[in-house]
Structures are given as C-alpha cells and as structure tokens.
C-alpha cells in the first residue's frame, strides 16, 4: 500500500536528501582513519550512544535515542554489524555524513536504514474475538536502492507467522518539510522503518517478553534482507545469503556472558551426580531378593549448592549481547541448565522423573515401535535367559591402553587435544566422558572387537567435539548447545557403525533402553522393567539389570531413549543429503544447523580443529555412502 506521509514527531522522522555536513570533532577523524584502514570501530557517545562498525560495510543502521521508550527499535539497530545509536538528530546527521562518505569512498556505495517506533499501538478490545493487525511503516524515496530495500523488507515482514498479531504495512513517500528542525538526517539513499509498539502492555507499558523477542528477531531479519537488496543494486559485493551481512566479531559482553554461563555449566557434572556408585553391591542385593525388590542406590555427596547456582544462572543478563541469534542460544542453554539443576536437587525424589521428561522428552510412539521391532526381529539370534554370558576378552587395562593410543593420535593432529584417561571404581562397568576426561570403570570387561568402536564413540565423537567446541572461541560450543545430547549420542553410535563395530547385541541394548525408558515413564517399577527385559525380550539377567540401573538412576532418568532417537534422526539427515561436517564443529543438535551455518557465514565459527580418525578408513567411507543411500539400524549390524 502506498500513501502520502503525515507529519510525525522528531524521533520518527525519516531520511531525506541534503548537503554533506563536514565532521568537526577530532574523534570523527579517528573513526574515518580506522575505516580507511579497514579496521573495526566501537566508540561510545554521549547519553548512552554508540557507533559500532565491526568491518567496512556499505550501510549503517541508525537509531535516534530521543525516543526513550523505543527500546525494541534500539535493540534491533544494535543487533547489526554496523550501527549508530545517536543521542539526537544533529549528532546522527554529523556521524552519518562522515562515516557514509568514508565507506562510500571505500566500497562505492552507502545506504542508511533508520529504525524507530510509532507513538502508540491500537490494541484490541478486551472482548475482541480476534487480534487486529499492527502497523509497520516504511518510508522510501524513489532511489532504486531504497525501493529495492523497501520491497525486500515488506516482503519479508509480510511472511512473518503471526502467532499473536499480523503486520499491516504502509509504504510511504518522504516529505522534506517533515523534520521539525528542517535539517535532513542523511544525503544518502535509505529507508526508515517504524512499527507499532505491540510488545508493550497498554496502560502499564510493561513488556510482553515473548512478543518482544519475536518482534526483534523478525524485524532484524527483514532489515538484513533490505540491506542485502540495497547492496546487490549498488555494489559488486556477492552475498551467499542476507545473513552474511551480520556480525563477524563478538563484543566483549558476549565473551563475559559465555564465561559466566560456562562457569555454571562446569560447576557440576550432571551424569556423575545421578550415577550410582554401588552398582556391584546393588546387583548382589537385587539377586538376594530374587529380583523382587529394587536395590538401594547410593550416590556421590553433592558439593554443589543448587540454589546458589540457580541464582548465579539467572543473574546473567543477555540483553547486551547485541546479537539475536546468540541471545536465543544462550537463553536456551540457561533453560537447560535450570532443568539439570532442578533434577540434581530432586535426586531420588518423586519430581526427578518429571524434570527428566521435560529435559529429554517422552518416548514417542514411533520411537517405541522401532525399538520393539528391533528386539522382536532379533530374538531368535540371541542366547536364552539363564545361559552363561560370554566372558569379556579384555579388561579395563587393555581398554585404557588403547584409549591412550587413540588420544595420542588425535594429539598429533591437534596439540590442544589434551584428554586424560582414568580408571575409576565409582562408576558402573563401561566408559564415560566427563568434559575432557575419559573415565573407565575397573569392572569393565568386553569383547576385543568392540574396543575400537567404543573408543571411537567416546573419544572420536564426545571428546573430539569437546575440544573442537573449545577451539571455536566460545565455551558454549564445548559444553553443548541446548538439546545437543540426542544428536551427539546418535552420532557416537553411528561412529561405532562406521568403525565396523556395530554388533547385534549393541543394537539390541540401544533398543532395550528405549523400551525400558518407556516402561519407567509409564509407571513401571525397577523389578517390573527388569522382568520385561528378561522374560519378553530375552536379555541375560546381568544385562537386564544394567539397563534397568541406568534407567532408574537418580529416581528415573529419561535420557537413555535419546541414543536410538538420535541415530534415527542422523540416518534421516544423511538420507536427505545432509552432511556430517557441521557436527564436528562442537556439540550441537540438528535443530542448530541453520544457526551454525549463519555463524559460519559471518566468520564467527571456524572449521573443526580436528576431524575423526575413523573417517580416514576406506571401509568407513563405504559404510557412510551406504548410509547416505538409506539404511535402517538393523542394516548397520556387522556381518
């Protein structure tokens, strides 16, 4: 829709043409010198203003801070790689002119995107049967760059999924006489965006947090598309995506926030906190009760003060990150850490299970069907209950020696791969990664042909992504983005397949964990789940006990369903043409692919410091090609 503009207050004035004012402050000379040299600029101005340019770009986003209530417009502006928060229109005109001339001389073009908010919103009546649209006004002149930018912005905003209210858009023409001081903001091509403050509650002015976040993310993205459209018309700069115009440097606040979040994440080891330390004694107790009474499980005493950790966690502010994407990633991590801390606090309590359900999700019907089908199809290929289980070929010392050899091989590729290997008496039989440590239970005994596959699971995936995440510069990528565990475990199980070590018994174990987890979440007690595994699915008594022990640790842990879930997600990802490469960059979930791609395009993430050794094997590459063609978990079992 196109109409004539109506006069508005000074803080909502749009961009106009005029002569260039000359910079008359010494600090502007320093800014121009930095831009001429291709250096970054970050300069604080009066009254909370700031000029931030992380690299030479053919645009500047502008917000004039005379409108004290327009907090969302300010946040959108400072989310960009090149922005100016000006205390008043006069300062804005001075800085835009000087910076614009310098960037135009360097890049051949310059564009201005000014953000602001309308004075008020027309809220719906309390008894209204629907939510009315809200207004977004875009003012643009006849310049081709401005028209292209306006079209791109309106096209993007028009596709916003309206969970609360949809946008009603007006495209306006500039009126030179509108500015009260009759002085133009800029002589450069540009557009002005104004939107109704729908994030504020009528009357009180209090913010709707979720609506505020959605508004920032959507308008910020539409603004980048507008800038990309203007850049395409006025320069020879080639952009793979509009997101490439985003930030390529972390501000200091991001680093401080990252360290603060990591301090909380590193203050406890969730799995060790909920893992029993008396598994052998628990098995003896369970046998003595003739498998009728759940064993008493003992845990490490907590050194963590949960309430103190939570206070620290929620004292971390994310509002100054100046990056909507990072804001979302850290908020997700904060929520995940909160759930983990709640679970530790509720250890052995009735609410532990429900916190775990919230953290890991329920066992979906489709997942349970796949797991049950695997167990039913393989029943006749396993030994009968009561038969003596096969003895392990190798003990914990052999496994430790092989682990140390593998760690040394990775360290030759990447000097900072400083993993340690430790034998422990206080964990159940098997292996466990805790941050940069590989912990091996002294009671571990396994078949020799399973060792390399299991080490590729623990070292080649869990430890590798820890150190690759560390190398990214933000510790968030080593502690893991929220929800990473499912895909991480699926990837680790897939590594066993690529190593040629996926056995029938291993696949059955992974499927049994899903079945046992579903039973636990449906209210079955320890002995019932044990009997389900032994009587219906033909597991050996000690195998069934170890599965149940994992499921009921802490009071009922829903985590073990994620192995098969993550594996199925990974196989679907590969069959759809997806790549493994992003997974090596750190601990991420498939849902983070878009975020990782954007951060990579912006230059904020580097290539993995080290890649899995098992991928160098010719047989592994053949198996990977099979997976890309489409396979099921049963197809992964070694012949």
Q: What does the pLDDT look like over 55-72, one tens digit per residue?
A: 999 999 999 997 778 999
Read off the pLDDT band of 133 (50, 70, 90).
Answer: confident
Would you say residue 13 has pLDDT above 50? no
Predicted local confidence at residue 209, as pLDDT: 87
How distant is the alpha carbon of residue 60 from its chain centre? 28
For 346-419, where are the alpha helices, taking DSSP H only? 352-360, 365-377, 396-413
Tokens representing residue 265 in the block: 């994440």
More confidently predicted of 162 and 424: 424
User: How does pLDDT run across 335-345, given as a tens digit for each residue?
Assistant: 999 999 999 99
Q: Are strands 50-53 and 82-86 parallel, antiparallel or unpaired?
A: antiparallel
Residues in a beta bridge with 394: 446
Any idea which residue has 């290997």 for tokens?
Answer: 421
Predicted local confidence at residue 249, as pLDDT: 85
Distance, CA of 52 to CA of 57 (rounded, Å): 11
Tokens representing residue 231 in the block: 């850049």
- In 3D space, the residue among 191, 195, 216 whose CA is nearest the CA of residue 135 turns out to be 195
Predicted local confidence at residue 159, as pLDDT: 55
More confidently predicted of 19 and 208: 208
Q: Which of 157-166, 168-177, 179-188, 565-574 has the lowest mean pLDDT?
A: 179-188
Q: Which of 3-7, 158-162, 365-369 has the lowest mean pLDDT?
A: 3-7
Distance, CA of 452 to CA of 498 (rounded, Å): 11
Contact yes or no for 564/511 (Cβ under 8 A): yes
Contact yes or no for 11/192 (Cβ under 8 A): no
Residues in a beta bridge with 432: 439
Strand arrangement, sheet containing 431-434 = 420-424, 437-441, 431-434
- In 3D space, the residue among 237, 248, 212, 236 whose CA is nearest the CA of residue 80 turns out to be 248
- 19-40 burial string, b = 16+ CB within 10 Å, else e? eebebeeeebeebbebbeeeee
Predicted local confidence at residue 158, as pLDDT: 64
Distance, CA of 226 to CA of 147 (rounded, Å): 9
Would you say residue 5 has pLDDT above 60? no
Predicted local confidence at residue 385, as pLDDT: 56
Would you say residue 268 has pLDDT above 90? yes
User: How does pLDDT run across 20-52, given as a tens digit for each residue?
Assistant: 444 456 889 999 999 999 999 999 998 889 999
Strand, helix or coil at 157?
Answer: helix
Distance, CA of 340 to CA of 336 (rounded, Å): 6
Predicted local confidence at residue 56, as pLDDT: 94
Predicted local confidence at residue 214, as pLDDT: 86
Calculate what percentage of the chain has a pLDDT beyond 90.
76
In terms of C-beta density within 10 A (0-12 exposed, 13-18 middle, 19 or more buried), how is residue 395 classed? middle
User: The pTM is what?
Assistant: 0.86
Q: Which of 1-10, 72-81, 217-226 has the lowest mean pLDDT?
A: 1-10
The predicted model gives 563-570 an average pLDDT of 97
Any idea which residue has 């963590």 for tokens?
Answer: 304
Predicted local confidence at residue 175, as pLDDT: 65
Any idea which residue has 């390529």 for tokens?
Answer: 248
Residues in a beta bridge with 439: 422, 432
Strands (DSSP E) found in 18-57? 41-44, 50-53
Read off the pLDDT band of 486 (50, 70, 90).
Answer: very high
The predicted model gives 480-500 an average pLDDT of 97
The helix/strand count (H/E) of the chain reads as: 23, 14
Distance, CA of 266 to CA of 158 (rounded, Å): 43
| Angle at the Cα of 78 from the Cα atoms of 76 and 79, rounded to 5 degrees | 65
Predicted local confidence at residue 1, as pLDDT: 39
More confidently predicted of 422 and 11: 422
Distance, CA of 152 to CA of 393 (rounded, Å): 65
Contact yes or no for 585/461 (Cβ under 8 A): no
Domain positions in the chain: 13-120+130-249, 269-303+346-636
User: How does pLDDT run across 570-598, given as a tens digit for each residue?
Assistant: 999 999 999 999 999 999 998 898 899 88
Distance, CA of 445 to CA of 11 (rounded, Å): 72
**Can you give 91-111 as a three-state secondary structure string?**
HHHHHHHHHHHHHHHHHCCCE
More confidently predicted of 361 and 182: 361
Predicted local confidence at residue 190, as pLDDT: 96
**Helices 324-345 and 593-601 meet at what angle, rounded to 10?**
140
Read off the pLDDT band of 202 (50, 70, 90).
Answer: confident
For the chain, how big is the Rg over CA atoms in Å?
29
Residues 146, 147, 152, 153, Cα dihedral to 10°:
60
Phi and psi at residue 173, to the nearest 5°: -100, 145
DSSP output for 526-561: HHHHHHIIIIIT---HHHHHHHHHHHHGGG--GGGG
Phi and psi at residue 586, to the nearest 5°: 170, -170
Distance, CA of 16 to CA of 173 (rounded, Å): 10
Strands (DSSP E) found in 31-150? 41-44, 50-53, 59-64, 82-86, 111-117, 134-140
Any idea which residue has 């393989």 for tokens?
Answer: 378
Distance, CA of 226 to CA of 245 (rounded, Å): 11
Tokens representing residue 638 in the block: 């070694």
Read off the pLDDT band of 518 (50, 70, 90).
Answer: very high
Q: Are strands 445-446 and 394-395 parallel, antiparallel or unpaired?
A: antiparallel
The predicted model gives 316-342 an average pLDDT of 94
**Helices 306-314 and 324-345 meet at what angle, rounded to 10?**
170
For 235-323, where are the alpha helices, taking DSSP H only? 252-265, 270-274, 279-288, 306-314
CB atoms near residue 143 (< 10 Å): 18
The predicted model gives 243-250 an average pLDDT of 89
**For 374, how many CA atoms within 13 A lie in the half-sphere containing its CB?**
26
Would you say residue 128 has pLDDT above 90? no
Strand, helix or coil at 439?
Answer: strand
Please, what is the average pLDDT of the chain? 90
- In 3D space, the residue among 148, 82, 102, 74 whose CA is nearest the CA of residue 602 turns out to be 82
The predicted model gives 221-230 an average pLDDT of 97
Does domain 13-120+130-249 fall under CATH 1.10.10? My reply is: no
Read off the pLDDT band of 418 (50, 70, 90).
Answer: very high
CB atoms near residue 616 (< 10 Å): 9
Predicted local confidence at residue 39, as pLDDT: 92
């Amino acid at each position: 829709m196109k109409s004539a503009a109506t006069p508005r207050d000074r803080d909502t004035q749009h961009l106009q043409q005029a002569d260039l004012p000359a910079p008359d402050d010494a600090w502007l000379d320093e800014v121009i010198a930095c831009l001429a040299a291709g250096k970054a600029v970050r300069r604080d101005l009066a009254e909370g203003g700031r000029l931030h340019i992380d690299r030479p770009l053919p645009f500047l986003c502008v917000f004039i801070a005379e409108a004290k209530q327009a907090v969302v417009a300010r946040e959108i502006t400072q989310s960009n790689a090149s922005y100016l928060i000006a205390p008043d229109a006069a300062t804005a005109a001075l800085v835009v002119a000087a910076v614009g001339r310098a960037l135009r001389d360097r890049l051949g073009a310059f564009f201005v995107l000014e953000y602001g908010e309308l004075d008020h919103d027309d809220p719906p009546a309390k008894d209204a049967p629907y939510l009315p649209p809200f207004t977004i006004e875009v003012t643009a002149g006849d310049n081709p760059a401005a028209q292209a930018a306006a079209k791109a912005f309106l096209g993007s905003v028009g596709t916003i999924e309206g969970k609360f209210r949809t946008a009603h858009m007006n495209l306006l023409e500039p009126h030179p006489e509108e500015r009260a001081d009759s002085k133009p903001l800029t002589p450069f091509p540009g557009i002005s965006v104004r939107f109704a403050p729908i994030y504020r509650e009528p009357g009180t002015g209090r913010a709707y947090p979720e609506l505020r976040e959605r508004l920032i993310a959507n308008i910020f993205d539409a603004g980048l598309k507008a800038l990309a459209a203007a850049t395409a018309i006025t320069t020879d700069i080639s952009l793979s995506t509009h997101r490439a115009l985003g930030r390529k440097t972390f501000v200091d606040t991001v680093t401080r926030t990252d360290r603060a979040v990591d301090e909380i994440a590193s203050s406890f080891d969730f799995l060790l906190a909920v893992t029993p330390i008396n598994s052998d004694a628990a098995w003896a107790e369970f046998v003595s009760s003739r498998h009728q009474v759940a064993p008493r499980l003992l845990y490490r005493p907590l050194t963590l003060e949960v309430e103190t950790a939570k206070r620290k966690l929620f004292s971390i502010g994310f509002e100054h990150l100046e990056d909507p994407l990072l804001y979302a990633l850290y908020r997700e991590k904060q929520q995940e850490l909160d759930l983990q801390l709640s679970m530790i606090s509720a250890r052995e309590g009735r609410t532990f299970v429900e916190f775990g359900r919230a953290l890991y999700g329920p066992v979906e019907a489709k997942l349970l069907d796949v797991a049950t089908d695997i167990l039913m199809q393989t029943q006749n290929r396993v030994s009968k209950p009561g038969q003596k289980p096969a003895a392990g070929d190798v003990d914990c010392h052999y496994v430790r020696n092989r682990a140390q050899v593998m760690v040394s091989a990775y360290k030759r590729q990447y000097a900072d791969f400083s993993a340690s290997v430790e034998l422990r008496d206080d964990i159940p039989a098997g292996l466990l990664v805790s941050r940069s440590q590989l912990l091996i239970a002294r009671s571990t005994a396994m078949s020799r042909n399973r060792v390399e596959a299991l080490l590729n699971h623990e070292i080649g995936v869990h430890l590798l992504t820890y150190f690759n995440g560390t190398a990214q510069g933000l510790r968030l990528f080593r502690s893991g983005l929220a929800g990473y565990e499912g895909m991480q475990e699926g990837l680790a199980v897939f590594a066993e397949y690529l190593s040629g070590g996926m056995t029938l018994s291993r696949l059955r174990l992974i499927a049994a964990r899903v079945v046992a987890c579903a039973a636990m979440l449906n209210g079955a007690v320890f002995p019932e789940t044990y009997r389900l595994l032994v009587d219906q699915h033909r597991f050996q008594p000690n195998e069934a006990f170890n599965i149940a022990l994992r499921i009921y640790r802490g009071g009922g842990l829903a985590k073990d369903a994620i192995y098969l879930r993550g594996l199925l997600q990974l196989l679907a990802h590969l069959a759809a043409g997806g790549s493994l490469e992003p997974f090596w960059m750190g601990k991420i979930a498939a849902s983070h692919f878009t975020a990782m791609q954007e951060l990579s395009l912006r230059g904020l993430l580097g290539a993995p410091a080290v890649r899995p050794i098992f991928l160098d094997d010719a047989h592994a590459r053949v198996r990977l090609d099979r997976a890309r063609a489409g396979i099921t978990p049963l197809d992964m079992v070694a012949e």
